[in-house]
């Protein structure tokens, strides 16, 4: 496992930030090998005062405290760009988001007298490290960034502290994603969180790219106004893609690996089924008045949603790839596909695309649907505090500070400079990003039932089947048992 000391104690280098943050002059040390507050030798850093003025929605109300140079230890995954969330070894003027993360960390170090230390590896190695740490009872990390789906399984194994036990984390603040409870909380207890602390998570949000040059060639209006009017639906996507897939080289077949044939949509089997289903308002799990989940399929609704997705993918002969992931984006870059389902993470590959392209939210099921919904890919980072962390007070203070500082200084750079200026090519697409990020979807059916009914759209599309009711009947008992088992595991963690 690689190890990097992200930054040295900021007070040694940027005293101005320290002064402006109002940090206490004194320091207090904590023995992080023992539980906080159990003996005279295990006192937490003394809280000297609370910043009474920091009570509005955009500022935290964290105590003024200095940890005297103690290390705040973070474990993070490197897959994709997910190390971006915390690892910033030094400033980089060529990358505004990297710079913003660096300065965020520096400000938090200054404010609380800590040194942020990061270890990073692939998501599977991160999971294995947490598992070893929990089983051995060793206090190695204060904060971990984990893979969403595999992290959910670890939460069931009692590996993480509930955020409700972290005194200084306020999940009602705007730097925490407001839709987290839908996908992760049980009985109002949350073991993984997400928000501005994880800029890479925004990049894991799904969207639809469209080829403006192909629209012009087919004398079609760009769908931007449809989005604004709430009329961007699956039916409209079906209309746009209906006659686009074509054998252009006359060899009697449409070949996605050729250089001439065109497609209405290019898509990856582990993206588009979930993107379109959740974008259309699909869900598999509901909550009762006590925030307890229960399996709640709506077969009539999901049959209708699947029927429209089937028309987009199968009837309109989209390129639906199950093996060659790289060719999905390549086809769009080559100007051979009208639409491309992907996440913001992949937009960097489109910068050198010759044709002009735009960005859209995922279509609604119908105009009656209130909001556009954006699926968050299961590889997204989630944060957690391992149960072996001995200084939960410090972990909660620094984690909240990293999140709130990111809200004020990192997200604006990511949103305005990177997503809206560097990624998009027109003002309309910049506007569309607001629609895409407004309602991000986290669903227990996807996260906890991925290997069964949670992937019914992908399984049916792969076999070009329309037997929706049959697959729901097949998985009904196992899905209900899985939810019951999940509840029992969470109750054990809560206990």
**3-state SS track over 290-306:** CCCEEECCCHHHHHHHH
Q: Do 211 and 174 sit in the same domain of this protein?
A: no
Q: Do 172 and 284 sit in the same domain of this protein?
A: no
Structural domain ending residue among the three candidates 392, 419, 446: 419
Which of 71-85, 180-194, 429-443 shows the lowest per-residue confidence on average (mean pLDDT)?
A: 71-85
| Beta strands 63-64 and 49-50, pairing class | antiparallel
> Rounded to the nearest 10 degrees, what angle do helices 148-156 and 468-494 cross at?
50
Structural domain ending residue among the three candidates 419, 448, 479: 419
Which residues are CB-neighbours of 244 under 8 A, at least 6 positions away? 214, 218, 262, 263, 264, 316, 338
In a domain, 428, yes or no: no
In a domain, 425, yes or no: no
C-alpha dihedral, 95 to 376 to 190 to 478, nearest 10°: -150
Are 241 and 313 in contact by the 8 Å Cβ rule? The answer is: no
Q: Do 217 and 101 sit in the same domain of this protein?
A: no
Are 30 and 36 in contact by the 8 Å Cβ rule? The answer is: yes
Q: Do 385 and 342 sit in the same domain of this protein?
A: no
Is the pLDDT score of 433 beyond 80? Answer: yes
Any idea what the CATH number is for the domain that residue 486 is in?
Answer: 3.40.190.10
Query: What does the pLDDT read at residue 494?
Result: 64
Q: Do 297 and 349 sit in the same domain of this protein?
A: yes
Q: Strand, helix or coil at 40?
A: helix
Which pTM was predicted? 0.84
In a domain, 293, yes or no: yes
Is the pLDDT score of 156 beyond 90? Answer: no
Is the pLDDT score of 457 beyond 50? Answer: yes
Q: Do 458 and 395 sit in the same domain of this protein?
A: no
| Beta strands 70-77 and 263-268, pairing class | unpaired
Query: What does the pLDDT read at residue 15?
Result: 25
Average pLDDT (213-234) is 97
In a domain, 296, yes or no: yes
Is the pLDDT score of 52 beyond 50? Answer: no
Cα separation values, 94 from 9, 97, 99, 482, Å: 24, 9, 8, 47
Of 115, 103, 72, whose CA–CA distance to 385 is shortest? 72
Q: Do 346 and 413 sit in the same domain of this protein?
A: no
Kindly list the strands in the beta sheet with 337-343, ordered across the sheet, starting from the edge strand earlier in the chain. 319-321, 263-268, 337-343, 206-211, 357-360
- Bigger pLDDT: 57 or 408? 408
CA distance 198 to 383: 8
Is the pLDDT score of 434 beyond 50? Answer: yes
The mean of the pLDDT values for the chain is 85
CA distance 91 to 103: 8
Is the C-alpha dihedral spanning 273, 278, 282, 283 positive or negative? positive
pLDDT tens profile 462-494: 999 999 999 999 999 999 999 998 888 877 766
Is the pLDDT score of 48 beyond 70? Answer: no
> What total number of domains does the chain contain?
2
Average pLDDT (318-322) is 97
* Domain with 405 in it: 2-203+379-419
Residue 470 φ/ψ region, left for φ over 0, alpha for ψ in the -120 to 50 degree band, beta for the rest: alpha
The enclosing H or E element of 21 equals helix 15-21
Average pLDDT (248-275) is 95
Q: Do 361 and 447 sit in the same domain of this protein?
A: yes
Q: Do 332 and 406 sit in the same domain of this protein?
A: no
In a domain, 184, yes or no: yes
Query: What does the pLDDT read at residue 255?
Result: 95
Query: What does the pLDDT read at residue 7?
Result: 35
Q: Do 314 and 397 sit in the same domain of this protein?
A: no
Q: Do 55 and 194 sit in the same domain of this protein?
A: yes
Grade residue 346 by pLDDT with cuts at 50, 70 and 90: confident
Identify the bridge partners of residue 117 per DSSP, sorted by sequence position: 73
Are 304 and 276 in contact by the 8 Å Cβ rule? The answer is: no
In a domain, 352, yes or no: yes
| Token pair for 154 | 């670890």
pLDDT tens profile 116-144: 999 988 888 998 999 999 999 999 999 99
Query: What does the pLDDT read at residue 32?
Result: 31
In a domain, 427, yes or no: no
Which residues are CB-neighbours of 240 under 8 A, at least 6 positions away? 220, 223, 264, 338, 339
Q: Do 167 and 216 sit in the same domain of this protein?
A: no
In a domain, 426, yes or no: no
User: Got the DSSP string for 98-164?
Assistant: HHHHHHHHHHHHHHHTEEEEEEEE-HHHHHHHHHHHHHHT----SEEEEEHHHHHHHHHTT-B--GG
């Amino acid at each position: 496992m690689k190890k990097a000391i992200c930054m040295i104690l900021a007070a040694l280098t940027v005293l101005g930030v320290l002064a402006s943050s109002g940090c206490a002059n004194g320091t207090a040390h904590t023995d992080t090998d023992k539980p906080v507050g159990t003996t005279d030798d295990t006192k937490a850093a003394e809280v000297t005062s609370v910043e009474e003025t920091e009570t509005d929605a955009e500022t935290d109300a964290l105590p003024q405290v200095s940890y005297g140079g103690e290390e705040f230890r973070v474990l993070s995954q490197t897959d994709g760009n997910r190390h971006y969330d915390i690892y910033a070894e030094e400033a980089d003027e060529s990358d505004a988001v990297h710079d913003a993360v660096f300065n965020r960390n520096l400000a938090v170090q200054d404010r609380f007298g800590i040194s942020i230390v990061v270890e990073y590896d692939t998501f599977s190695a991160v999971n294995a490290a947490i598992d070893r740490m929990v089983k051995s009872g060793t206090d190695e990390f204060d904060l971990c960034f984990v893979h969403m789906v595999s992290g959910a399984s670890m939460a069931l194994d009692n590996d993480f502290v509930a955020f409700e036990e972290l005194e200084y984390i306020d999940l009602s603040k705007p730097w925490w994603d407001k839709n987290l409870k839908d996908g992760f909380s049980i009985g109002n207890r949350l073991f993984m969180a997400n928000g501005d602390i994880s800029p890479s998570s925004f990049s894991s949000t799904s969207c639809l790219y469209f080829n403006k040059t192909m629209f012009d060639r087919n004398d079609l209006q760009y769908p931007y106004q449809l989005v604004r009017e709430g009329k961007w639906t699956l039916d409209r996507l079906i209309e746009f893609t209906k006659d686009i897939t074509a054998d252009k080289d006359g060899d009697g077949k449409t070949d996605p690996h050729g250089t001439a044939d065109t497609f209405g949509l290019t898509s990856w089997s582990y993206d588009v089924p979930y993107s379109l289903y959740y974008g259309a308002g699909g869900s598999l799990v509901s909550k009762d008045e006590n925030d307890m989940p229960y399996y709640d399929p709506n077969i009539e609704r999901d049959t209708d949603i699947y029927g429209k997705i089937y028309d987009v993918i199968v009837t309109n002969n989209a390129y639906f790839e199950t093996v060659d992931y790289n060719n999905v984006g390549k086809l769009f870059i080559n100007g051979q596909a009208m639409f491309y389902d992907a996440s913001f993470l992949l937009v960097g590959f489109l910068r050198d695309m010759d044709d002009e392209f735009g960005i859209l939210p995922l279509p609604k099921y119908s105009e009656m649907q209130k909001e556009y919904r954006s699926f968050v890919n299961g590889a997204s980072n989630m944060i957690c505090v391992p149960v072996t962390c001995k200084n939960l007070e410090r972990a909660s203070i620094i984690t909240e500070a990293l999140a709130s500082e990111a809200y004020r200084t990192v997200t604006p750079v990511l949103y305005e400079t990177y997503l809206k200026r560097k990624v998009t090519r027109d003002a309309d697409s910049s506007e569309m990003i607001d629609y895409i990020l407004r309602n991000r979807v986290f669903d227990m059916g996807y996260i906890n039932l991925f290997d069964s009914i949670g992937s019914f759209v992908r399984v049916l599309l792969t076999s070009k089947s329309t037997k929706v009711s049959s697959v729901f009947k097949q998985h009904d008992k196992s899905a209900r048992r899985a939810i019951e088992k999940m509840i029992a595991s969470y109750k054990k963690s809560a206990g």
